[in-house]
Structure 1
Amino acid sequence: MPKDVATIDPITLQVIRGSIETIAEEMAHVLFRMSFSSIIRESEDLGAGLFDTEFNTLCESESTPMHIGSIPGYLHGIQDTLDDGEWYEGDVVVHNHPYHGSSHTPDLAIVIPIFHKGELVGYSANTAHHIDIGAATPGLIIDVPDVYAEGMLFAGTKLYRKGKRNETMWRFIRNNSRAARQLVDDIEAQISSARLGVKRFNELLDQYGKELVFGACNQLMDYSEKMLRQRIADIPDGEYRAEGWLDDDGRNRGQQLPVKVCVRVSGDSITVDLTGSAPQTPTAYNVPFEGSTKVAAFAAFRKLLLDTATSDTRVPSNQGSFRPIEVIAPKGSIFNPISPAAAEARFTQCNYMIDLIMKAMAPVLPEEIIAGSSASISFASYAGVRESGDYWVFLEVNEGAYGGRPKSDGPDAIDNLMANTRNNPLEDLAMHIPMVCERYELRDDVMPGAGKYRGGIGVVKAQRMLTDGIITHESERHSNVPWGIFGGTEGAAGKCDIYNVGSNEAPEVMHSKFHGKEVRKDDVMAYYSPCGGGYGSPLERAPNKVLDDVLDGFCSPEHARDVYGLVFDLEAETVDLAATQKRRKEMATAS
């Protein structure tokens, strides 16, 4: 990659920055608008960006953090496995091998080399989650013995070579997926997105020249690195620790999996050490190190220290924000499994690791961290066979909730931490899939964590099958409740039930993870996501906010009196402020 010849003036630098960031956003927009499966089209479970020949991230779309941060790992893996061992103009590569840098197998990357005036200068790439790549069960897997049960593995595989389509590989893909039409069409959308990136970046190089564009990119990466190092340098040197556990591995019930996080701050650098976390599991509940574990650590500190809503300046999202952070996870652990261990169900561990990083940093970053979030992901695969004999497959990500924050309540019913997917419109579901949503609302069976700023309220979603079928579900925190912080109380654990609308039988209480569950027509899976913990003492919460929650049904009258110390007249919808202040003093003294 060309090096800086001289410092580029600020105006030109911002023009280049705006140009490459717009290219990444346009790539992502094309990808989700052209895709056919709802996990990409509606949930936007994708990422897109541009990369130099050293595999540095030059820019990224504002979509799911796990996707973009992982692409440098994909590129390193492709370097070791590339068909022909060489890039040609017109090549299109697909890659998803978890032991060659990918995040996990359903996230297919499409990479196209960028040639400018005959010279390889970078890559246009994207990743997206696909609904079925021929794994042991439709759409999602958990309890499988090895990586080969995860479906089709691509390692540096050329779908196009020198512009010529590899029809043999395309036929192979069609013949090995339960949802072949959607898979192929979604890959085509990825190719269109990446080709657009190639075109737009070449236009930029033509306009400003290679030396200027890459000089600007180098400066922007150095700037991002400098800004993050400045924030890290403000943190006192030391070791900051937190630990917890995951429910189980999806097979061995009752055997919790420890997760231990040690954050070492030294000067302007950070090391995230996961030593002491659980050994790798015999199921797919493992995390690829390059494509997922490291990316989760990068995302954690970008959120903590470079958040756009709390920072004075908006720092570009590029490779510079990865450089100050080192990640350690022993080989053979859940965060760094050894091939051929399966590693498809890898997301909840990453989200929980980020939650623990925030907990560990609470003593020195009280104004940046938040209380415990749901820090999971409810990822469900619903599938069945139509009368025609064709499979239908639907992937859904259910929302969770954030913990209370330094200046506001935790947001309700929203994907959180590492995840950033959108929900699926129910109308879209009914139009394309033989399912119907029976219930979709905020939880009313538990209270969120109480605090000066309460935790977010989780979602409850109940989906009814209109055919016999199979459900696989990946989730967490059925036994590990999101914590409160600085005097806030803990939130509420998640749960999942399956019942039949035509039966009087009691619901079957499900584990947080289950694999290939056979269900009947009119069976319903009802998922209740965890609620976030509270931030600060509940006795410091503004009385009118407590009353508002009572009136909205988010807080019971008993909870308001017993935990928040509120004295109020529910019929008149008023608070007795003097009596509330007195009661709160008595409660504080008694504690």
Structure 2
Amino acid sequence: MMTWDAATLQIVWQRLISVADEMAAVLLRTAFSSVVRESNDLACAVLTADLDLLVEYGRSVPVFTGTVAGTVRAMVEEIGRDRLEPGDVLATNDPWVGNTHLPDLTAATPVFHNGEIVAFVASICHLSDIGGASEGAFAQDIFEEGFCLPPVKLVERGTPNALIRRILARNVRVPRQVLGDVDALVAANALGVRRITAMLSDDPDLDLTEAGRRICAATESAVRTAILGIPDGSYGATVELDGFEEPKQITVTVEVAGDTMVVDYASTSGQSRYGINSGSPTLGYTRYGLACLLAPDLPNNEGALRPVTIKIPDGSLLNPDKPAALSANFPAHAIPAVLSRALLGPLPARVAAAAGTPFWVVGVRGRDDAGPFASLLCFNGGQGACEGQDGHPTLSTPSNVSNTPVEVIEAQTPLLVERKTIVRGSGGAGAWRGGDGQEVVLRSLHDEPLDIIFLTERIDHPAPGLAGGADGLPGALRIDDVPVAEPKSRTVLAPGSRILLRTPGGGGFGTP
């Protein structure tokens, strides 16, 4: 019988975190696409046998680990827990069962020990193509956005499902690249299973159910203590966004009573006709925003949300009705900023001004002698400032997605990077300045027109400052010196033409 003192709990907790970290190392080293390998658009996690989030890879994209438990629950419910066997891998990219959007694929594997499921491991990554219009915000329903894979057994008792792989390959532009990323997810999960079974073999007294209960309880206790430090009352804020067909806003009211909190998004804009709506990312970024404000030093798990009730109006930008388009769910990235704005009064040392962007995406598609190619390039704006710290330049917040390196852009696409520089002074002024954005000029070297998809934000509505800080400078997007009329849409880039991207600066904090 294990004695659960503080030291034992910490050792087990850290060992489980190391499992998620090792899974991510496998995923990063074996993935085929640059959006995973270079931009870190991935997550790995360990869940309890009851499908609660237990630990996550520390550099995971926060929205993934905020949604993964719900996605895996939905897959297990649809397929049937009693039908799971050792060596199975479940997978889906269906946003209506809790996944983020179609380009993201979630893969989950049960961990068996002595014939019983003792945990689940899960990995998520952003595929470089999922068919359809993909990535951009211009689709008007989910059917235009690409291939939707319902919950399936991607691998059954250790044998890959050949039919699923054939169907997936037939529906994407770059099947080798996509299937390579799928195999990387499977490999990451396999490593996670091996590590957890080795832990249990090394220590027969280790009870993962009890470990999970204690880990989540520790985080829940810390979050409740943090909420108790906020005076009871109602705190509200609104953030304006570019939207698509019209500007949109996210409005939140935070009600605090004792050690509990209600987060209500009533009065948020209605859902869009286009693909900027958010489903499960609303929950994921609410969880992440509150983690930063309430218990930033503790690893995330299911316990962090137990004291919190989240209310999202149906038919809104943050909870659209089926079959709304969801691919470009950028508005949800502003949730941590609006939570910071709402809780500025009681938590002035924890909040941060809005970031310039989570990241901008440029999708590049075309065909050469080797066949079709498709790549996703990421470019970050400036981080928002906070008390005691300037915002970092070109740092994705809250998405944790890295800038695509120049060498990767030029190796994987027929684009030449003519200029890439920080836009000094683009962060908002303040006692602490917002982070600066960047300017990038890309020239097409291809002898045929390229299919380009843009996904941007804060061109019309700059990142607002906080606590007297100034707004950051807005972004700019041009082709051959002409502003792009719709910066969340799709266009053709002629041979020799140039794209200029100037990402937004972050908001400043405090009176200058």
Amino acid at match of 1:183: V
Give the structure 1 partner of residue 404 of structure 2.
Answer: 424
Q: 1:354 to 1:281 in 2, by over 3 A?
A: same
Asked if the contact 2:426–2:504 (Cα under 8 Å) also holds between the matched residues in 1, the reply is no
Q: Where do 5+ consecutive residues of structure 2 fail to align?
A: none
CA distance in 2, matches of 1:7, 1:270: 33
The answer to which of 96-105 and 72-81 deviates more is 72-81
Asked if the contact 1:466–1:521 (Cα under 8 Å) also holds between the matched residues in 2, the reply is yes
CA distance in 2, matches of 1:128, 1:381: 16
Give the structure 2 partner of residue 44 of structure 1.
Answer: 40
Select the residue among 334, 341, 349 that pairs with 2:317. Answer: 334
3-state SS of the aligned residue for 1:33? helix
Select the residue among 463, 467, 470 that pairs with 2:451. Answer: 470
The answer to which of 331-340 and 430-439 deviates more is 430-439
CA distance in 2, matches of 1:125, 1:210: 25
Select the residue among 356, 378, 382 that pairs with 2:364. Answer: 382
Give the structure 2 partner of residue 165 of structure 1.
Answer: 160
Q: How does 1:129-168 map to 2 (within 5 A)?
A: 129-137=126-134, 140-168=135-163
Q: 1:325 to 1:396 in 2, by over 3 A?
A: farther
Deviation at 1:469, TM superposition (A): 0.8
CA distance in 1, matches of 2:315, 2:3: 45
3-state SS of the aligned residue for 1:530? coil
CA distance in 1, matches of 2:486, 2:351: 26
CA distance in 1, matches of 2:486, 2:197: 48
Give the structure 2 partner of residue 458 of structure 1.
Answer: 437
Deviation at 1:361, TM superposition (A): 0.9
CA distance in 1, matches of 2:362, 2:498: 13
Deviation at 1:487, TM superposition (A): 2.8
Deviation at 1:377, TM superposition (A): 2.7
CA distance in 1, matches of 2:486, 2:82: 43
Asked if the contact 2:334–2:354 (Cα under 8 Å) also holds between the matched residues in 1, the reply is no
Amino acid at match of 1:22: S
Give the structure 2 partner of residue 269 of structure 1.
Answer: 260
3-state SS of the aligned residue for 1:221? helix
3-state SS of the aligned residue for 1:332? coil
CA distance in 2, matches of 1:515, 1:329: 27
Give the structure 2 partner of residue 77 of structure 1.
Answer: 74
3-state SS of the aligned residue for 1:58? strand
Select the residue among 224, 232, 238 that pairs with 1:229. Answer: 224
Deviation at 1:201, TM superposition (A): 0.7
The question of 1:317 aligning with 2:300 is answered yes
Amino acid at match of 2:250: V
Give the structure 1 partner of residue 278 of structure 2.
Answer: 287
3-state SS of the aligned residue for 2:429? coil
CA distance in 1, matches of 2:3, 2:124: 33
Give the structure 2 partner of residue 443 of structure 1.
Answer: 423
Asked if the contact 2:75–2:91 (Cα under 8 Å) also holds between the matched residues in 1, the reply is no
Amino acid at match of 2:8: T
CA distance in 1, matches of 2:310, 2:426: 36
CA distance in 2, matches of 1:483, 1:432: 35
Asked if the contact 1:83–1:157 (Cα under 8 Å) also holds between the matched residues in 2, the reply is no
Q: 1:457 to 1:405 in 2, by over 3 A?
A: same
Amino acid at match of 1:373: A
Q: 1:431 to 1:90 in 2, by over 3 A?
A: same
- Per-residue CA shift, 1:81-126, capped at 9, x if unaligned? 3279721222111111111111111110111111111112221111
CA distance in 2, matches of 1:201, 1:247: 45
3-state SS of the aligned residue for 2:333? helix
The question of 1:349 aligning with 2:328 is answered no
Give the structure 2 partner of residue 61 of structure 1.
Answer: 57
The question of 1:126 aligning with 2:123 is answered yes
- Per-residue CA shift, 1:246-275, capped at 9, x if unaligned? 2132xx2xx212221111112112221111
CA RMSD of aligned residues (A): 1.8
CA distance in 2, matches of 1:401, 1:21: 29
Give the structure 2 partner of residue 552 of structure 1.
Answer: none
CA distance in 2, matches of 1:124, 1:152: 24
Select the residue among 246, 260, 273 that pairs with 2:251. Answer: 260
Give the structure 1 partner of residue 500 of structure 2.
Answer: 526
The answer to which of 224-233 and 260-269 deviates more is 260-269
Asked if the contact 2:389–2:432 (Cα under 8 Å) also holds between the matched residues in 1, the reply is yes
Q: 1:263 to 1:128 in 2, by over 3 A?
A: same
Amino acid at match of 2:125: A
The question of 1:300 aligning with 2:289 is answered yes
Give the structure 2 partner of residue 23 of structure 1.
Answer: 19
Q: 1:243 to 1:195 in 2, by over 3 A?
A: same
Deviation at 1:163, TM superposition (A): 2.4
3-state SS of the aligned residue for 1:514? coil
Deviation at 1:413, TM superposition (A): 1.5
Give the structure 1 partner of residue 373 of structure 2.
Answer: 392
CA distance in 1, matches of 2:98, 2:467: 39
Deviation at 1:7, TM superposition (A): 6.3
3-state SS of the aligned residue for 2:90? strand
Asked if the contact 1:135–1:141 (Cα under 8 Å) also holds between the matched residues in 2, the reply is no
The question of 1:401 aligning with 2:352 is answered no
CA distance in 1, matches of 2:6, 2:249: 48
CA distance in 2, matches of 1:376, 1:91: 34
Deviation at 1:424, TM superposition (A): 2.0
Asked if the contact 1:30–1:189 (Cα under 8 Å) also holds between the matched residues in 2, the reply is yes
Number of residue pairs matched?
509
What is the TM-score with the length of structure 1 in the denominator?
Answer: 0.83
Q: 1:449 to 1:165 in 2, by over 3 A?
A: closer
CA distance in 2, matches of 1:454, 1:166: 52
The question of 1:495 aligning with 2:476 is answered yes
Deviation at 1:511, TM superposition (A): 4.8
The answer to which of 424-433 and 121-130 deviates more is 424-433
Deviation at 1:333, TM superposition (A): 0.8
What is the TM-score with the length of structure 2 in the denominator?
Answer: 0.95
CA distance in 2, matches of 1:403, 1:111: 34
Q: 1:471 to 1:213 in 2, by over 3 A?
A: same
Give the structure 2 partner of residue 87 of structure 1.
Answer: 84
CA distance in 2, matches of 1:336, 1:386: 40
Q: 1:512 to 1:421 in 2, by over 3 A?
A: farther
